[in-house]
Structure 1
Amino acid sequence: MTRVLILGASGFIGGALYRELCNYVDTYGTYHTGKIYSENRHFFHYDMEKEDIFNILLDLRPTHIISALRGPFEAQVISHGQIAAYSRSSRSKVIFLSSANVFDAFSNYPSYEYDKTLSESPYGRLKIQLENMFMKLPDRQYIIARLPMVFGSQSPRIKELRYALTHQQAYEVFPNLVMNVTNDNMLTRQIHYMINRNRKGIFHLGSTDLIHHNEFILECCHRLGVRSPFFKNVYTSNFDRFLAVLPKDKKLPKHLMFSHHEVVEELKKL
């Protein structure tokens, strides 16, 4: 029987994964804050700075562990080390949600699954460190899912954009940033597929096309019903800077491939 534990199930991505999987497989999640989860027998309280994840893992014995954890970097390193150790001993599979930021030192081109990782940011270096923990496991026991910027009608990024549009505030855009994107609906369907088909290795789960950040946000504004938004242009370089993860060797089926237009189309008007 497939039993899935989602670490960070009270967050945006973790919650979306729980909703996608709970009707199909035996699904559990952890939460840090939020009383709404306290009486749900499928949710376990977990404070990575104070608690040991081993207790939950040993009680639940999941076949799949999905990490959507956020929090202090040092605590994340300890928690994920424990997850890797448990996976090695139990032969469970880990699905680690990583980030395009593992490539943020390479700004001249998009990145593919087996490109060398190198980051200039603390966040990117953390993700590289955690990826390396899981890549020491046998190949069949891990999936590294690298994500670009994640959007969706209820995503923090779109909520922030809606607030700026509603209050006629300037929203920061990056005209020199070339990226790809995803949303919660497409991401959860991709993860569900990989669990069902027992996929393994490294996957890049972004849209198949690239777009400048300011152009994408403008399309989102139009979809939300605002034709003339206020933007604050932020230039971090004199040239285009790529932060995009594209699939090359590990492509998913066509029905799970998408363009940025589909991400925009799923947004609902203000």
Structure 2
Amino acid sequence: MKRILILGASGFIGNALYKELCSYFDTHGTYRTPNRFFEDNHQFHQFDMETENIELLLENLKPDVIISALRGNFDLQVATHFRIINHILRYKSKLIFLSSANVFDAFTNFPSYEYDKTLSLSVYGRFKIKIENALLRLPNNSYNIIRLPMVFGKSSPRIKEVRTILDLKEPLEVFPNVVINATEILKVTQQIHYIINRDKQGVFHLGSSDLVHQRDFMAEICEGLGYENPLFKNVYDSNYDRFLAVLPKDNKLPKNLEITISQVVEASTKK
């Protein structure tokens, strides 16, 4: 049985992955803040990259697959991932790195595909690119780069934020000229489960198969949540449509693992 270690398993995406994988693999996870629930689960291990070296945990567990859903200081994350890379090369294991559509945020005219050149204007995007570039120099069987657009879900932080803003009768910032795709957390966990099961290699774009203007998408989300006539604050950062979307071309998943914008909305707003 494969042993999987999820770094950041107490977070939204990491914890959903743990729940998806724990029945099928010897699945372990890390958490940072002391928590009785995680402390009582012997599959969870406290790890703080600000004070600890990841190498000790990796040496003790020797996971076959490491999934990185870490959050926190960017410089510390880069240093931690470089140590992980050294480990996977030494033990012939694999790193699945959860990246972002923001690695393409300097390109605005088209959606982006798996092996397009990355270029970012944001600090967040550049940090992700630094780790991606290190992985792309490795043998193909040593890594997966998983690029995600915005991830929604019924209990996602994004949905909670929307509810909070609208309940306070405050305006919700929307971007009428930004064309996006999105995804939903349960579909993401199924897709990554498939990638692990089939031992897939390379870069994957796990966004919806169709695109939508961000304002229209948020209007559908608000309607699905039961908010009539929500107050929007339109933000225009361009006179033209600007794309921030990741679509698959080279590494497509089976049809049953694809998702559409309407399915993202439905899954994120159903009662």
TM-score by length of structure 1 reads 0.98
Corresponding residue for 1:62? Answer: 63
Which residue identity does 1:237 align to in structure 2? S
Are 2:4 and 1:30 aligned? no
Corresponding residue for 1:121? Answer: 122
Contact 2:184 2:268 in 1 (8 A): no
Measured against aligned partners, the alpha-carbon deviations of 1:226-246 in whole angstroms (never above 9, x if no partner) come to 121111111111111100000
- Structure 2's unaligned 5+ residue stretches are none
Measured against aligned partners, the alpha-carbon deviations of 1:189-211 in whole angstroms (never above 9, x if no partner) come to 00000000000001110000000
Are 2:265 and 1:264 aligned? yes
Contact 1:148 1:182 in 2 (8 A): yes
**Matched residues, percent identical?**
58
Which residue identity does 2:211 align to in structure 1? L
Number of residue-to-residue matches in the alignment: 270
Structure 1 runs of 4+ aligned residues shifted over 3 Å read: none
Corresponding residue for 2:244? Answer: 243
Following TM superposition, by how much is the alpha carbon of 1:34 offset from its aligned partner in structure 2, in angstroms?
4.3
- Aligned-residue CA RMSD (Å): 1.0
Contact 2:221 2:269 in 1 (8 A): no
Corresponding residue for 1:87? Answer: 88
Contact 2:148 2:207 in 1 (8 A): yes
Following TM superposition, by how much is the alpha carbon of 1:154 offset from its aligned partner in structure 2, in angstroms?
1.1
Are 2:98 and 1:97 aligned? yes
Which residue identity does 1:67 align to in structure 2? S
Contact 2:153 2:267 in 1 (8 A): yes
2:146 aligned counterpart, secondary structure: strand
1:182 aligned counterpart, secondary structure: strand
TM-score by length of structure 2 reads 0.97
Corresponding residue for 1:176? Answer: 177
Deviates more, 1:127-136 or 1:77-86: 127-136
Corresponding residue for 1:19? Answer: 19
1:266 aligned counterpart, secondary structure: helix
Measured against aligned partners, the alpha-carbon deviations of 1:88-124 in whole angstroms (never above 9, x if no partner) come to 0011011000001111110111000111111111110
Are 2:7 and 1:7 aligned? yes
Corresponding residue for 2:110? Answer: 109
Contact 1:225 1:269 in 2 (8 A): no
Which residue identity does 2:94 align to in structure 1? K
Corresponding residue for 2:235? Answer: 234
- Work out the CA distance in 2 between the residues paired with 1:217 and 1:230: 11
- Structure 1's unaligned 5+ residue stretches are none
2:75 aligned counterpart, secondary structure: helix
Corresponding residue for 1:220? Answer: 221
- Work out the CA distance in 1 between the residues paired with 2:91 and 2:136: 16
Corresponding residue for 1:78? Answer: 79
